Copies of this chain bind each other. A is one copy, B any other.
Amino acid sequence: MQSSRSKPCSCPSLKLREVASMYFTLVAAFLVILVVALQGSAPRQNDFPYKVPLDPQGLLELSWNVSYPEQVVHFQLLIRELHFGLLFGMSDRGEFENADLAVLWSDGHNSYFGDAWSDAKGQLHMDSQQDYQLLGARRAPEGLYLLFRRAFSTCDPKDYLIEDGTVHLIYGILEKPVHSLQAINVSALHGGLQRVQLLKPNISIPQLPRDMKSMEITAPDVVIPSQETTYWCYMAELPEGFPKHHIIMYEPVVTAGNEALVHHMEVFQCAADFDSFPHYNGPCDSKMKPERLNYCRHVLAAWAMGAQAFYYPEEAGLAFGGPGSSRYLRLEIHYHNPLVFKGRRDSSGIRLYYTATLRPYDAGIMELGLVYTPVMAIPPGEDSFILTGYCTDKCTQLALPSAGIRIFASQLHTHLAGRKVVTVLSRHGRERQVVNADSHYSPHFQEIRMLKEVVAVFPGDELITTCTYNTEDRSRATVGGFGILEEMCVNYVHYYPQTQLELCKSAVDPGYLHRYFNLVNRFNDEEVCMCPQVSVPEQFYSIPWNTFNRDVLRSLYGFAPISVHCNKSSAVRFPGQWEKQPLPSITERLQEPSPRCPPSPGAQPAAPVPLHLGQLRR
């Protein structure tokens, strides 16, 4: 390491400086061309089934594949305009500090590739164990392809652990020559982040029927607003008399050139309670948007950047059309336009594939987690406050068929303070299986995710959904509710066969919460308003937050009985006693899987790999 690092410095420093200043004037036009493949043959296109642009201009494009037997991700990074190298890596939430990075850098003469990490101040360090392993570099007309691999888990405490769920990828462009890794100033870098699900499930595509038809729900030539964030709403309509069909697959339709702008898209079905819905085509937050569109909330399809086509399992399809089902659909597109491009036109949307030959089972969507109620609140200033919602044994006993249901997909949902979400299946008080988990959850990246393994849920099972929130930037309590600054903790699970159970959620018993307000009032000798006419949010807002009041709220949520919503629809409960139910108790926790470390010989020495560069050209 010592020798290779000092190599660039062995040139006389004066000359280097001259050369460097020459580069600075030309830097935007420079293209460093790598001509060596270190190992292996050139990758074929279908070796990398997953693809995502990293930057808003699409200059960096990441493709990858996942090998579960090897527990390794292979990356192919296309760099359309290489200047003096780049950083690519992963970090907890997309920050450049405490990140795990693969770095390609050039001093103008020589180029190097190495595995590095950034400390809490953003300073780069060569990693003592080289776990981003360079496999090759290939020049093509469209740019430079870098190929490298990375084990899910390296057992190096400086490294990021690649887990299921969201991974925050980061990139940074080196626009000037750098003479060593340590000289890179991360804070001055032009870079950004992109969220993806790296560990895509390895699912075989079910047989598709011959009579399959498709229907595009797309935005009609929208001019993307020149602002960073737009939620675009467009109302579509099924033909009159459209009979019941099964949606068996859907895929994104993204207008060519807008791949980096179309962040996520969802198709919602409207409530059957209304005979008609107004047409609308405009921003979702516009004052012009008809009120009634708020009743279009039943998810039919959801896609987010990096996701592929979604296939229903062979035995099931999502029913739409027919009596008791609204003809009205709402398409919502999140345009992410940080560079504020003007006048870009877009006709993206989702293509639904459906069949009239109904499959054996209707698929259903069930809401797990917390009831949307202010009794579940998060104190301000917390970096990781946890709330838990329960689908109890009593509810599944009553509502699920004896053969059980199969959960095959899941969409996690919180509002802006959500940081982690996990649902665990518990049977007889023992945790059995993770239904879906995202330890790097972002409210800005909500996909419907196929589960790696279908989860069977039987009567008497419990489904426990836990959300972790960050309220460090808030000065008053965040209560549960529908508002974007209120919070939710939901897992929409997709399952079959469909049952009457639409909602299996909980919230703390309001009587116990009242005792809490009482207790806080007396303990702190302060005036928390206890008058019955004051709302729960007002009571939470009036609490003087300190560690005691915070800890006791946490203890309350971990102890007090719950009110269970075991509902056929959001308003109709199953018959039974659902108030003051005991908290499910867990006698056996799931063990954290101990990470599989790469065998010792796999790790490479802590030295940058020199690359044989072609000539620098303008």
User: For the complex, is A35 an interface residue (Cβ under 8 Å from B)?
Assistant: no
Q: CB distance A559 to B551 under 8 Å?
A: yes
Q: CA of A556 to CA of B520 in the docked complex: distance in angstroms?
A: 12
Q: CA of A547 to CA of B548 in the docked complex: distance in angstroms?
A: 16
Q: CB distance A554 to B551 under 8 Å?
A: yes
Instruction: Write out the residue numbers on chain B whose beta carbons fall within 8 Å of the beta carbon of A220.
Output: none
Q: What are 23 A-B contacts with C-beta separation under 8 Å?
A: A155-B155, A157-B594, A515-B523, A519-B519, A519-B522, A519-B523, A522-B522, A547-B555, A547-B558, A547-B559, A548-B555, A548-B558, A548-B560, A551-B552, A551-B554, A551-B555, A551-B559, A552-B552, A552-B555, A555-B555, A600-B600, A600-B601, A600-B603
The smallest C-beta distance from A348 to any residue of chain B, in angstroms, reads: 46
Q: CA of A155 to CA of B555 in the docked complex: distance in angstroms?
A: 35
User: For the complex, is A570 an interface residue (Cβ under 8 Å from B)?
Assistant: no
Q: CA of A560 to CA of B515 in the docked complex: distance in angstroms?
A: 20
Instruction: Write out the residue numbers on chain B whose beta carbons fall within 8 Å of the beta carbon of A552.
Output: 551-552, 555
The smallest C-beta distance from A551 to any residue of chain B, in angstroms, reads: 3
- Encoded as 1 (CB less than 8 Å from any B CB) or 0, chain A from 586 to 606 comes to 000000001000001101000
Residue of B nearest to A129 (CB): B600
Q: CA of A155 to CA of B157 in the docked complex: distance in angstroms?
A: 10
**Contact residues of A between 517 and 551, Cβ < 8 Å to B:** 518-519, 522-523, 546-548, 551
Instruction: Write out the residue numbers on chain B whose beta carbons fall within 8 Å of the beta carbon of A155.
Output: 155
Q: CA of A296 to CA of B422 in the docked complex: distance in angstroms?
A: 58
Instruction: Write out the residue numbers on chain B whose beta carbons fall within 8 Å of the beta carbon of A559.
Output: 546-548, 551
- Other 10 A-B pairs with CB < 8 A, given A155-B155, A515-B522, A551-B551: A129-B600, A157-B594, A515-B523, A519-B522, A546-B559, A547-B555, A548-B556, A548-B560, A552-B552, A555-B555
Instruction: Write out the residue numbers on chain B whose beta carbons fall within 8 Å of the beta carbon of A555.
Output: 547-548, 551-552, 555
Q: Measuring CB to CB, which residues of chain A are less than 8 angstroms from any residue of chain B?
A: 129, 155, 157, 515, 518-519, 522-523, 546-548, 551-552, 554-556, 558-560, 594, 600-601, 603
**A contact patch SS:** helix
Instruction: Write out the residue numbers on chain B whose beta carbons fall within 8 Å of the beta carbon of A546.
Output: 559
Residue of B nearest to A550 (CB): B555
Q: CA of A556 to CA of B546 in the docked complex: distance in angstroms?
A: 11
Q: CA of A554 to CA of B547 in the docked complex: distance in angstroms?
A: 11
The smallest C-beta distance from A543 to any residue of chain B, in angstroms, reads: 14
The smallest C-beta distance from A417 to any residue of chain B, in angstroms, reads: 22
Residue of B nearest to A548 (CB): B559
Q: CA of A556 to CA of B518 in the docked complex: distance in angstroms?
A: 16
The 7 closest A-B pairs by CB, nearest first: A551-B555, A548-B559, A600-B600, A547-B559, A519-B519, A548-B555, A157-B594
Q: CA of A9 to CA of B560 in the docked complex: distance in angstroms?
A: 59
The smallest C-beta distance from A139 to any residue of chain B, in angstroms, reads: 34
Q: CA of A546 to CA of B558 in the docked complex: distance in angstroms?
A: 11
The smallest C-beta distance from A512 to any residue of chain B, in angstroms, reads: 9
The smallest C-beta distance from A315 to any residue of chain B, in angstroms, reads: 40
Instruction: Write out the residue numbers on chain B whose beta carbons fall within 8 Å of the beta carbon of A515.
Output: 522-523
Q: CA of A548 to CA of B555 in the docked complex: distance in angstroms?
A: 5
Residue of B nearest to A554 (CB): B551
Instruction: Write out the residue numbers on chain B whose beta carbons fall within 8 Å of the beta carbon of A518.
Output: 522
Instruction: Write out the residue numbers on chain B whose beta carbons fall within 8 Å of the beta carbon of A556.
Output: 548
Residue of B nearest to A558 (CB): B547
Residue of B nearest to A518 (CB): B522
